[in-house]
Structure formats: C-alpha cells, structure tokens
Amino acid sequence: MALSARLQAGRDIGTGLLTGRSSTRPHVALLSSPTRQALRQERSSLIAWLAGIGVFALVVGVISKSVSSVGISKQLSRELAKLGAGTVLRPVGYISFTFIFFVFVVSLFAASQVAATRHAEADGQLETVLSQPVARWRWLTGRLLLGLAAVVALSLAAVAATWLGAVSQGVSLPAGRMLEAGANCLPTAVLFLGLGVLGYAVIPRAASGLAYGLVIVAFLWQLFGSLLGAPRWLVDATPFVHLGLAPIHAFRPGPAAVMLLIGIAAGTAAVARFGQRDVISA
C-alpha cells in the first residue's frame, strides 16, 4: 500500500509506470477465408480440448497397468458384463472400456461446434461475412469441415497419449488396435455433428441445446439402459451401444458406416436448408 501511494503521488492523470499504446499492428493471419477465420476464433478452444483429452488419456494409459480383479465382487463383475465391459479388469480391457468416455467427449466437442456456429450467427458475425462475396453453403460447409478435422485431431490425440502412457508402464498394446479405438470416436461425432447442424439449419435458436441434449441422453441411456433392464431393442436405440470396444474387441465397420452416412446426409440437408432461411441474429 505504501508503494502504491508513492507511485500514485508521482504520476500524471491517465498515465502509469508503464506507458500504454493507443494502436497496434494489425494481425491478419487466418483471415483470408471464412473457414480460416473460424479456425482463428476457435483455436484457443481447440488447444484446450486437445490438452485436456491428451492429459486424461495419458493418465488412463499409465494407470492401466495397475488394474486388477482383486477385491471385485461377482455382482459388480456381472454389472460390468451388462455394459459389455466384462474384461475391464485387465489393462487392455480397462483401456477399451475407458475409450467409450473418449467417444463421448469427442461427440460433445462436435456439439460444441454446433453451438459455436450458432453463436457466430447470433452475435452478428455471420451478417458481416455474408455481406462479402461469400455463399451461404460455403460458409456452413467450411464450418462442418473444420469440425471434422478437429474431431480427427482429438481422436488421434487420445490414441497417441493413451498408447504412450500404457507402453511406458510395460503394457503390451498394439498401435494398430489403438487406432481402431480412435476410429470409434469418428462415427458418433460425425452423426451428432450432422444432426446438430441440421437442427441449427431448421430451428437455430434451439440448436445448441438440441446438439448437447442428443449426445448426453444417448450416452446416459447407453450406460444405464442395460442396468435398468430395458428391452434390448430400446437399448439399441443409442449409437454408443453399437461400437466395438477396441482394442479388446474388433472395430465394427457396419454400424460405423451407417452412422457416418446418416451424419453426412444430415449435414448435406443442413447446408441445403440453411441457404433458404433468414439469418437470425438474436
């Protein structure tokens, strides 16, 4: 406080110990196209997602060595078997079961891209972009492609960090099977991204809640549907249940292809519908 009083007594109004600048050099990097501009706006968020997933995946890989069935009751083992995680009490099985949460997180990231797209429209950015010679379909397609590229990056980060953590502890984990675990993240993320963007094109004000709601409800139903004794056909309604828990189980290309096709079709329909509605900035 004494130092503050001393500094205050020796300075002019509107000045300080360190002088500020009234202007700065313009930073125009990543402003040459709408997609690059979206990357510039989302890069801090993407770095945070990459760091968070990478750290958590590294921890999962490191602690997988210590997983054991000692002290686990038969009843708990039966409950885990209902979730398709009967081998969770071994290191590779534990990693396989844990990857369902990475699938969930990457799908949540896809929902966040829908929310970011809606935010760009709600705060007036979209009107500024469309005042330039930029087609609507190009703007939304660029957003979709950026989201897909980010999903791939997050999936690879989860695979690489988990593999490094496990191998550092002496766990035998083939890199090819880990890539299958990472591939599991893509179909659901593409599915929810496509459905979320379709919701944005049709009912923009509800798009964020719809995107997040679809992911969360589908994931929770996958976890608790079987435990609650729901009919099998009802449990199968969530896309998460159709994933092969790699690396302990094989990747399932059939269900993955169906989810990818639905997501791509929904995204295509969204681009077409977006070109026909008004811009809603509130």
Average pLDDT over the chain, rounded to whole?
86
Residue 3 amino acid letter: L
Residue 152: its pLDDT value, please?
Answer: 95
Asked if residues 226 and 83 have their Cβ atoms less than 8 Å apart, the reply is yes
User: What's the rounded Cα separation, in Å, for the pair 107 and 118?
Assistant: 17
Residue 275: its pLDDT value, please?
Answer: 86
Residue 123: CB partners within 8 Å, gap ≥ 6?
Answer: 281
Q: So where are the chain's domains? A: 32-274
CA distances from 210 to 47, 194, 252 (A): 25, 12, 27
User: What's the rounded Cα separation, in Å, for the pair 26 and 16?
Assistant: 25
Question: Environment class of residue 122 by beta-carbon count within 10 Å: exposed (0-12), middle (13-18) or buried (19+)?
Answer: middle
Could you tell me the pTM of the whole model?
0.82
Asked if residues 84 and 90 have their Cβ atoms less than 8 Å apart, the reply is no
The predicted-structure confidence for 236-264, as pLDDT tens digits, reads as follows: 888 998 888 888 888 899 999 999 999 99
Residue 228: its pLDDT value, please?
Answer: 74
User: What's the rounded Cα separation, in Å, for the pair 220 and 104?
Assistant: 10
